[in-house]
């Protein structure tokens, strides 16, 4: 496909960011009346006549072989209609939670009974479930037949010259050597992975799935149902959070398809919370070892970094160090450490928050050794990265950085306050995948549609806003339709690429609709189509005006339906942010309360300021979880997760919220381009909090989460 634009028309543009009527303003989301009244139907809520409820039997062992498996005891329970095995006798299970078999029954309660009635025996095999155990000589290999693994370590790449780095470190004014660790985290979407397979025999099926890609459903389900992909409809009307964990229909969807196919009846497979923890999503942990040096005047000199992602059976991800900073000499070794745990999945800004935590801690430690202000030290090492410099200066001013004690732990008394900061960077961008249709009826009704999905980011709302602004209409004049694979194609929501891919296609469709309407209406106004002005629900030219409905009466009786696809010049990647935190550490209890957080984030043209601010808030809240609360805990001996519930895996709640949270859109970024902002604001908050804890109490915590036990042991190392 040629990349040059075949049409002679000038490239499209959004125009200046401060001259929009709807975009870049504060728009309540169009679906809020449904989300607040229980009338938004999520995949988890889909209820069909004759629908069965599925349950999965998960492996109780981290590593085992099935020695016998009998589904009949489950099938004998009244109300149980179907049962399928996923792994046969002799088959290997490689993590606690690995799906073994599944049942479908008339009620969820009976399905619960049935899954426990399955008669299965295991030969338990050696396992490793912690990185420390995994790399011990003689540890049980997770991939015994893969020569790329040595002691469960898989090296991905090496770059730079280690001797040159060592020379530079030898002549540096200050050097630190430190190791930083972050645990495996869980997405904990409140809507667990949920699939409803509506197959009743025959050639057609409809599959409702809580997934980040409407168009990932038909192919996945068709393979399991042995149908043509084009005969399977995927539906994602409302989606209760994904954060990277929901791609395709998953193992749970495959099992639902197999059960449905067995009895020609609809099956709902909605994971219980424990199964969600064990088999449906975790984000990789990290283990990063640094030697880093700086000159007396505050320039990074050299960095030696070994960084490993802890991705369970997967390789995980970890952003390359030294992250947003620059040093003349960098040696980097990167790889993964494998364990018998469910493969990690992308988790909001995959690999970035852990990399940011480590590098921003290094920056703080060096600044402390140099007795330099941490903001000043960062600015010295950002080169010509004016975006981050601008954001650091703004954040420092907003949070009152001048109040920060230059001596860590200097606050008198037992409640010690401190400040910290960190920077984040994300790529994103848009791709030519979305096909958007704008329909205008002869009665003046307008619909914008695309098969895309709204993860809670506000996709529906900006689709409506773009069309309404282009056609001179109000938000309420335009209806939207999404989440259905029968509509125009759309990309999977990953990498903050939805807005950058979809919004240009919506803009193009709206312009095409405008052109077609103008062609039909111009004769009524006695004007040339290109001279028509669309505003205030009116179309005017040459001193004449038609209101919207009068104008649309000139359309063909079937109305018009026009398409738009992605075009260059309307979206881009590159999102920068800086986060600041003020915390209070109780040195008697070890409790950390975040008092204030400020996050400055750029995103080019903010399509909807209200929704962008909510994303920024969300990033800060998830950062509180990562910094202070969250982490998978494994029993190394038994190979099982010990905190697979919300009782034990603590996510931030109302009482953890700071007194003040300030989400700031950085309007210093004047790019007239859409930049996806779902992931970027979740990158720097945890690092900012960790640095604030150091400033508050004078102890550096290099392992997240910073829980009260760590604080107390850090403050009283001899106790």
Contact residues toward other proteins (CB under 8 A) are 28-29, 31-42, 44-45, 47, 53, 73, 76-79, 107-110, 113, 117, 187-192, 238-241, 243, 270, 272-273, 455-458, 610-611, 613-615, 617-622, 645-647, 651-655, 657, 661
Residue 36 CB, nearest approach to other proteins (Å): 4
Structural tokens at position 336:
């993964």
Q: Which of 14, 21, 27 is nearest to 613 (CA)?
A: 27
Please, are residues 483 and 540 in contact by the beta-carbon 8 Å criterion?
A: no
Task: Calculate the CA 325 to chain-centre distance.
Answer: 24
CA 346 to CA 254: how far, in whole Å? 20
Query: Is 654 or 719 the residue whose CB approaches other proteins more closely?
Result: 654
Query: Is 190 or 474 the residue whose CB approaches other proteins more closely?
Result: 190
Residue 70 CB, nearest approach to other proteins (Å): 14
CA 123 to CA 426: how far, in whole Å? 45
Structural tokens at position 145:
């037949």
Residue 607 CB, nearest approach to other proteins (Å): 13
Structural tokens at position 661:
């949270």
Query: Is 375 or 499 the residue whose CB approaches other proteins more closely?
Result: 499
Residue 40 CB, nearest approach to other proteins (Å): 6
Query: Is 149 or 613 the residue whose CB approaches other proteins more closely?
Result: 613
Query: Is 498 or 572 the residue whose CB approaches other proteins more closely?
Result: 498
Residue 163 CB, nearest approach to other proteins (Å): 45
Residue 271 CB, nearest approach to other proteins (Å): 10
Query: Is 240 or 631 the residue whose CB approaches other proteins more closely?
Result: 240
| CB neighbour list of residue 517: distance below 8 Å, 6 or more residues apart | 440, 471, 539, 551, 552, 555, 560
CA 464 to CA 37: how far, in whole Å? 21
Question: 3-state SS string over 10-62?
Answer: CCCCCCCHHHCCCCCCCCCCCCHHHHCCCCCCEHHHCCCCCCEEEEEEECCCC
CA 705 to CA 186: how far, in whole Å? 13
Structural tokens at position 606:
């903010």
Residue 37 CB, nearest approach to other proteins (Å): 6
Q: How many residues does the chain have?
A: 719
Query: Is 73 or 91 the residue whose CB approaches other proteins more closely?
Result: 73
Reduced to 3 states, what is the DSSP secondary structure of residue 546?
strand
Reduced to 3 states, what is the DSSP secondary structure of residue 158?
strand
Query: Is 187 or 291 the residue whose CB approaches other proteins more closely?
Result: 187
CA 1 to CA 609: how far, in whole Å? 36
CA 29 to CA 412: how far, in whole Å? 46
| CB neighbour list of residue 238: distance below 8 Å, 6 or more residues apart | 31, 34, 35, 40, 41, 42, 43, 454, 483
Structural tokens at position 319:
């952003």
Residue 341 CB, nearest approach to other proteins (Å): 21
Query: Is 44 or 377 the residue whose CB approaches other proteins more closely?
Result: 44
Query: Is 292 or 677 the residue whose CB approaches other proteins more closely?
Result: 677
CA 660 to CA 420: how far, in whole Å? 15
Residue 499 CB, nearest approach to other proteins (Å): 14
Please, are residues 215 and 492 in contact by the beta-carbon 8 Å criterion?
A: yes
* Residue 200, CA distances (Å) to 111, 220, 222 in order: 20, 18, 14
Residue 663 CB, nearest approach to other proteins (Å): 8
Residue 397 CB, nearest approach to other proteins (Å): 21
Query: Is 524 or 610 the residue whose CB approaches other proteins more closely?
Result: 610
| CB neighbour list of residue 418: distance below 8 Å, 6 or more residues apart | 404, 405, 408, 411, 582, 583, 585, 692, 693, 694, 695, 696, 697
């Amino acid at each position: 496909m040629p990349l040059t634009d075949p049409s002679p028309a000038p490239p499209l543009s959004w125009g200046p960011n401060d001259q929009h009527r709807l975009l870049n303003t504060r728009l309540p989301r169009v679906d809020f009346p449904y989300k607040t009244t229980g009338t938004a139907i999520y995949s988890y809520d889909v209820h069909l006549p004759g629908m069965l409820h599925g349950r999965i039997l998960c492996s109780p062992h981290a590593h085992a072989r099935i020695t016998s498996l009998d589904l009949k005891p489950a099938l004998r329970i009244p109300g149980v209609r179907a049962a399928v095995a996923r792994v046969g006798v002799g088959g290997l299970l490689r993590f606690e939670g690995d799906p073994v078999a599944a049942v479908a029954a008339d009620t969820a309660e009976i399905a619960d009974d049935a899954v426990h009635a399955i008669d299965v025996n295991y030969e338990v095999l050696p396992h490793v479930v912690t990185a420390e155990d995994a790399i011990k000589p003689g540890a049980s290999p997770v991939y015994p037949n893969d020569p790329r693994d040595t002691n469960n370590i898989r090296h991905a790449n090496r770059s730079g010259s280690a001797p040159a780095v060592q020379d530079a470190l030898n002549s540096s004014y200050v050097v630190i050597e430190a190791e930083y660790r972050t645990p495996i985290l869980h997405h904990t979407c409140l809507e667990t992975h949920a699939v409803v397979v509506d197959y009743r025999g025959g050639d057609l099926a409809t599959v409702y799935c809580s997934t980040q890609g409407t168009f990932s459903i038909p192919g996945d389900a068709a393979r399991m149902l042995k149908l043509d992909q084009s005969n399977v409809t995927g539906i994602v009307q409302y989606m209760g959070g994904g954060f990277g964990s929901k791609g395709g229909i998953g193992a749970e969807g495959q099992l639902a398809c197999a059960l449905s196919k067995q009895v020609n009846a609809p099956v709902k497979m909605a994971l219980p919370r424990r199964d969600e923890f064990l088999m449906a999503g975790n984000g990789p942990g990290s283990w990063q070892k640094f030697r880093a040096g700086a000159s007396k005047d505050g320039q990074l000199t050299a960095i030696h970094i070994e960084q490993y992602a802890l991705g369970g059976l997967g390789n995980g991800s970890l952003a390359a160090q030294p992250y947003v900073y620059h040093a003349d000499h960098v040696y980097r070794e990167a790889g993964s450490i494998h364990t018998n745990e469910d493969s990690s999945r992308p988790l909001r800004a995959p690999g970035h928050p852990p990399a940011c935590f480590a590098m921003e801690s290094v920056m703080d430690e060096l600044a402390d050794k140099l007795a330099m202000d941490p903001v000043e030290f960062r600015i010295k090492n950002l080169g010509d990265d004016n975006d981050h410099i601008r954001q650091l200066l703004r954040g420092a001013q907003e949070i009152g950085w001048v109040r920060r004690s230059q001596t860590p732990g200097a606050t008198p008394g037992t409640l010690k306050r401190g400040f910290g900061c960190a920077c984040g960077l994300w790529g994103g961008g848009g791709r030519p995948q979305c096909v958007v249709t704008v329909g205008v009826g002869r009665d003046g009704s307008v619909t914008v549609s695309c098969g895309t999905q709204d993860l809670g980011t506000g996709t529906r709302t900006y689709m409506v806003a773009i069309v309404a602004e282009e056609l001179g209409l109000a938000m309420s004049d335009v209806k939207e339709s999404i989440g259905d694979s029968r509509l125009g194609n759309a990309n999977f929501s990953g990498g903050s690429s939805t807005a950058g891919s979809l919004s240009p296609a919506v803009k193009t469709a709206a312009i095409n609709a405008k052109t077609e309407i103008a062609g039909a209406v111009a004769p009524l106004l006695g004007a040339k189509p290109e001279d028509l002005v669309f505003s205030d629900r009116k179309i005017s030219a040459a001193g004449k005006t038609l209101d919207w409905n009068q104008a649309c009466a000139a359309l063909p009786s079937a109305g018009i339906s026009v398409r738009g696809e992605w075009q260059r010049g309307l979206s881009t990647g590159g999102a920068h942010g800086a986060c600041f935190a003020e915390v209070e550490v109780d040195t008697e209890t070890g409790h950390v309360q975040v008092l204030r957080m400020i996050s400055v984030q750029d995103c080019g043209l903010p399509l909807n300021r209200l929704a962008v601010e909510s994303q920024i808030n969300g990033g800060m809240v998830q950062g509180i979880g990562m910094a202070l609360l969250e982490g998978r805990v494994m029993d190394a001996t038994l190979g099982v997760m010990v905190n697979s519930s919300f009782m034990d895996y603590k996510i931030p709640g109302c009482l953890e919220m700071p007194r003040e949270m300030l989400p700031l859109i950085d309007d210093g970024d004047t790019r007239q381009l859409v930049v996806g902002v779902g992931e970027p604001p979740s990158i720097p908050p945890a690092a900012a909090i960790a640095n604030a804890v150091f400033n508050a109490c004078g102890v550096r915590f290099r392992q997240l989460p910073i829980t009260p036990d760590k604080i107390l042991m850090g403050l009283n190392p001899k106790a």
